[in-house]
Structure formats: C-alpha cells, structure tokens
C-alpha cells in the first residue's frame, strides 16, 4: 500500500509550539520528524511512503540529511517526495548526491523524476519497475502503479 | 583594578583582531574588564555580536564587565535599533546614556541582534528572516526570489553551529547596507558569534590525530570549512558549512570564520582578504561572517 505522510502536519506535531513554524530546520527537529515518520511507516504494511512537503517553507541541509537521507538509508519503504518546491530541491539534492543516494519526486501529474546521485537513481527506478511499483507511461515518463 | 579593552572606532571584521589583541592583553590577570566604546563611530553586525561574545567571555561570577556606551547620538541610536543594548544589558554593567529604543525591524536591519541558544531560536530566526529578507534580497540585491530560501538555509546552518558546537549561547544579526569601501554596492551581511569552545576544541577528539603536529585552530577551521568534517561520526554531518559554501559560490558571496587564533575565508574575486591567517590574538568561541553582494558586476 501507499502511505501518505503530510510532512507539514508531522512538523506541527513534532516541534514544541510547532503550530507557529513551517520550516524544517535544525537537526533536533529533523530527528523528531524522521522518527515519527519511521513509526508511521512501521505501523502498516507500507510499500511506498508518499511524503508530501506541501506547506513546508524552508528545509535546511541538516534537516534534508536527518530526514530524507536517513530514511533512504534505513529503507523502511520506497520514498516518493511530493509537493517539492525548487528551494526544497536545492536543499535535498546535494545532500543525497553527497551520500550517493537518490529519491523519487512525484510531480503534479503523477510523473516520477529522480533526485540525487544518477547511478543510484537508475538503480532505484529499475527496482521499482521490477517490483511493479512503477511503470513507464505512454508519455515516456514513469508513474506509480499503486493509487 | 580594572583593565581596559578598547573598542575600535570603526569596529568590523577588519578591526576585530585589534580588539581581540586588546582583549587578550587585558584578560591575562583575571581583573575586571572595561570595554571602552565611547569613541565608537561605526560598528558592523560582526562588531556588535563579537562585542557581546567578549562580554560573555569576560564575565567572572557575579561581576559583569563594564561597558562605556558610544557618545555619538547617532551611533548610540543605531546600536540600540540593532538590538545590541537589549542583549548587552545582560552581560555588561553599562555606563553612559542608552536610549530607550526598542530593537526595530527597519529596512536595513533585517534581523536585530538575536540570541541563539537552542534549536527553537533557530526556528524563530529562520521564520523571521523569510518575512523580512525576501523583498530586500530580490529588489535591492538583485537575487532571484528563489535565493531567499537559500539565504534562510545558510542562516539556519550558521546559527546551528552555535547550538551544536559552541557549548554555550551566541548571537546572530543580519543587516543590509551599502558597502562603499569595497564594492560601492549593497550587501547583506550575516554575523554570528559565540564565546564557546571553538572549532579546535570541538573537532579535537576526531581530527587531531589525522593532522598530527599541524593540529591547531587553523587546521580545525580548514577541516570544518574546506573538508566539511564534523565532530560527529555520523556520515551525514558537515553538511551545513558545505551548503553555505555552495550557496555563496552561486551568489558570489564570502564567508570568513574566526576561531581561537586563526581565521579562514572563502574569498570571492571582489575581495582582497587572505584565505587563512594564523597566529592571531586568541579569542574564544567562533565568529562567522557571511557577505552576499548585490548581483551584477562585482569588480574589486
């Protein structure tokens, strides 16, 4: 199954007084948010975790590492990032590339693109197709097969 | 007995070593210090947060160091508007007339002198700067509006160095001003200072063996800024300064970090600073300066 994770909502629940913050900054914040996401994924039979960053303002490099890179290394599920802005991408991309990791980004139309180290991205897409979690669309892009 | 520490009339990163030298000379016998800023004519955000760090380091027990406030009304007014006295009141016994002006979010003071002690403070700083900086970065510095978020990231990482490595609190200030001396154009400056343990002490357990006899403040700064190493063994660490460097490379900016007896800088073409200085007067903690210039021609 695909689990939808509203990252902004997790942030609100994670930070003391989090209702007033929209930014994923600092390692302690990243750690708490990641641990909540890990628990949410572990609670179900999750093949794909769709992490929706809509509503998240700034992400700094520390949080990008603490949340996205560490979740990818732990591999609790296939991670698909959605609601990603250019600024989010700027923070996450170099962190993943530095680790030789890659993540998937799902655009508004459902098309998947990769972010991070190119070699890891190619392996990730191959794996998704092999597991029938994603397939090539008539337009030539990739999309998730699960709703 | 009170020892005098003279605050330079033009107090910025260039005159900071002179200030640190005066600080070192005055602290060798543990007497109470008097920071004399009465003749101050101008102070950059770096000077202001550096002076607070000195006040933090100079406190012994209940005895606060003394501070004579600037006598020039407009200097005094600026220091107040920049939020300096609000923080200084906790650290110094202040002599002289201090105007009862609240720190203001004026167009040039993007972030008044703000204490950073915990992760929550970094959240507050990042939240505030995004509200304030967006228009200035885009309209006055000609940065792509997308660069605002990168600016907030850089600021966040600079502040986190205090929280994660200093072992004490520190301060941050952000200001936009016209930098006539170097560029004849607008710049935005981030200044961060603390009087904590400094880079050498923070990195010593994991890095000193690797550097051997070369180990010291300069080597520690080189390891942190150039090689991106961290005191933590977690492979994801060290992202912060590397991220700041990437951002500054893209926008032709500068970073300089002073810690202990050394200072390291990533020097853009428009500046004539030296990449690494060692053997400077020892000053506690770390002081970070980030400068982002107005975009366009930045010929020196």
B87 and B138 co-located in one domain: no
A61, A66, A69: residue with CB nearest B243: A61
Cβ B235–A57 below 8 Å, yes or no?
Answer: no
Domain CATH for B32: 3.30.750.24
Cβ A23–B123 below 8 Å, yes or no?
Answer: yes
Residues 102-141 of A with CB under 8 A from B: none
> Quick check: A16 pLDDT over 80?
no
pLDDT bracket for residue B102 (50, 70, 90)? low
Which residue in chain B has the smallest CA separation from A73? B236
Position A138 scores a pLDDT of 87
B52 and B153 co-located in one domain: no
B152 and B228 co-located in one domain: yes
> Each residue of A103-117: pLDDT tens digit?
999 998 889 999 999
Mean pLDDT of B289-294: 92
Q: Average pLDDT, whole number, for chain B?
A: 89
Cβ B153–A60 below 8 Å, yes or no?
Answer: yes
Query: A26, A59, A64, A93: best mutation site toward chain B, by most B Cβ within 10 Å?
Result: A26
Domain boundaries, chain A: 2-144
Least confidently predicted of A38-47, B97-106, B217-226, B276-285: B97-106
* Residues A30, B230: Cα–Cα separation, whole Å: 18
Mean pLDDT of B58-67: 86
Mean pLDDT of A77-97: 91
B141 and B239 co-located in one domain: yes
Mean pLDDT of B97-107: 70
What ipTM, to 2 d.p.?
Answer: 0.84
Domains contained in chain B, number: 2
Cβ B123–A66 below 8 Å, yes or no?
Answer: no
Mean pLDDT of B66-88: 94
A20, A22, A29: residue with CB nearest B119: A29
pTM of this structure: 0.89
Say if residues A80 and A71 touch (Cβ distance below 8 Å). Answer: no
Give the domain-ending residue among B96, B128, B155: B96
pLDDT bracket for residue B34 (50, 70, 90)? very high
> Quick check: A80 pLDDT over 80?
yes
pLDDT bracket for residue A17 (50, 70, 90)? low
Give the domain-ending residue among B76, B96, B116: B96
B45 and B191 co-located in one domain: no
Domain CATH for B162: 3.30.565.10
Give the domain-ending residue among B77, B96, B115: B96
B70 and B138 co-located in one domain: no
B279 and B196 co-located in one domain: yes
Position B40 scores a pLDDT of 96
B136 and B178 co-located in one domain: yes
> Each residue of B172-210: pLDDT tens digit?
999 988 876 666 788 899 999 999 999 999 999 988 999
B146 and B281 co-located in one domain: yes
B54 and B78 co-located in one domain: yes
pLDDT bracket for residue B298 (50, 70, 90)? low
Across the A:B interface, residue pairs with CB atoms under 8 Å apart total 91
> Quick check: B219 pLDDT over 70?
yes
Least confidently predicted of A107-111, B5-9, B103-107, B136-140: B103-107
Residues of B in contact with A87 (CB under 8 A): 146, 149-150, 153
B123 and B221 co-located in one domain: yes
B120, B149, B236: residue with CB nearest A58: B149
Position B142 scores a pLDDT of 81
Residues of B in contact with A61 (CB under 8 A): 153, 157, 239-240, 242-243
The residue range of the domain holding B92 is 1-96
Mean pLDDT of B214-235: 87
Mean pLDDT of B118-144: 83
B90 and B156 co-located in one domain: no
pLDDT bracket for residue B103 (50, 70, 90)? low
Position B182 scores a pLDDT of 66
Chain B: residues touching A (Cβ < 8 Å): 119-120, 122-123, 126-127, 130, 146, 149-150, 152-153, 156-157, 160, 163-164, 235-237, 239-240, 242-243, 246
Residues of A in contact with B157 (CB under 8 A): 60-62
- Percent of chain B's residues with pLDDT above 90: 61
Decide the pairing of beta strands A48-52 and A78-82. Answer: parallel
> Each residue of B146-163: pLDDT tens digit?
777 889 999 999 999 888
pLDDT bracket for residue A46 (50, 70, 90)? confident
Is A2-144 assigned to CATH 3.30.750?
Answer: yes
Position B297 scores a pLDDT of 54
């Amino acid at each position: 199954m695909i689990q939808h994770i509203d990252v902004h909502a997790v942030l609100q629940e994670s930070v003391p007084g989090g209702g007033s913050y929209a930014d994923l900054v600092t390692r302690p914040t990243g750690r708490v948010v990641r641990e909540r996401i890990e628990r949410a994924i572990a609670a179900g039979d999750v093949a794909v975790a769709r992490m929706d960053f809509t509503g998240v303002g700034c992400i700094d490099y520390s949080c990008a590492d603490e949340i996205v890179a560490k979740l990818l290394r732990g591999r609790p599920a296939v991670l698909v990032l959605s609601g990603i802005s250019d600024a989010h991408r700027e923070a996450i991309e170099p962190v993943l590339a530095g680790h030789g990791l890659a993540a998937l980004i799902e655009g508004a139309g459902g098309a998947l693109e990769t972010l991070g180290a190119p070699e890891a991205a190619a392996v990730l897409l191959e794996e998704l197709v092999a597991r029938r979690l994603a397939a090539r669309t008539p337009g030539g892009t990739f999309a998730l097969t699960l709703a | 007995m009170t020892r005098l520490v003279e605050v330079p009339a033009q107090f910025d990163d260039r005159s900071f070593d002179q200030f640190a030298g005066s600080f070192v000379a005055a602290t060798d016998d543990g007497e109470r210090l008097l920071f004399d800023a009465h003749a101050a004519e101008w102070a950059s955000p770096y000077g202001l947060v550096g002076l607070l760090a000195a006040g933090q380091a100079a406190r012994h027990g209940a005895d606060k160091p003394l501070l004579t406030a600037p006598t020039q009304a407009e200097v005094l007014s600026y220091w107040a508007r920049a939020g300096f006295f609000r923080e200084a009141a906790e650290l110094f016994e202040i002599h002289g007339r201090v105007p009862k002006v609240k720190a203001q979010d004026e167009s040039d003071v993007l972030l008044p002198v703000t204490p950073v002690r915990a992760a929550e403070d970094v959240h507050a700083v990042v939240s505030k700067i995004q509200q304030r900086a967006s228009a200035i970065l885009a309209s006055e510095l000609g940065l792509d509006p997308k660069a605002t978020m990168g600016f907030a990231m850089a600021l966040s990482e600079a502040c986190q160095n205090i929280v994660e490595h200093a072992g004490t609190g520190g301060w941050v200030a952000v200001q936009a001003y016209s930098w006539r001396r170097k560029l004849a154009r607008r710049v935005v400056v981030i200044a961060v200072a603390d009087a904590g343990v400094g880079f050498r002490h923070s990195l010593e357990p994991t890095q000193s063996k690797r550097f051997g006899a070369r180990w010291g403040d300069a080597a520690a700064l080189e390891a942190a800024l150039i090689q991106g190493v961290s005191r933590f063994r977690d492979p994801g660490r060290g992202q912060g300064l590397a991220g700041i460097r990437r951002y500054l490379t893209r926008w032709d900016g500068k970073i300089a970090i002073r810690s202990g007896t050394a200072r390291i800088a990533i020097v853009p073409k428009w500046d004539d600073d030296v990449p690494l200085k060692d053997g400077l007067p020892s000053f506690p903690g770390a002081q970070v300066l980030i400068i982002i210039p107005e975009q366009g021609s930045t010929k020196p």
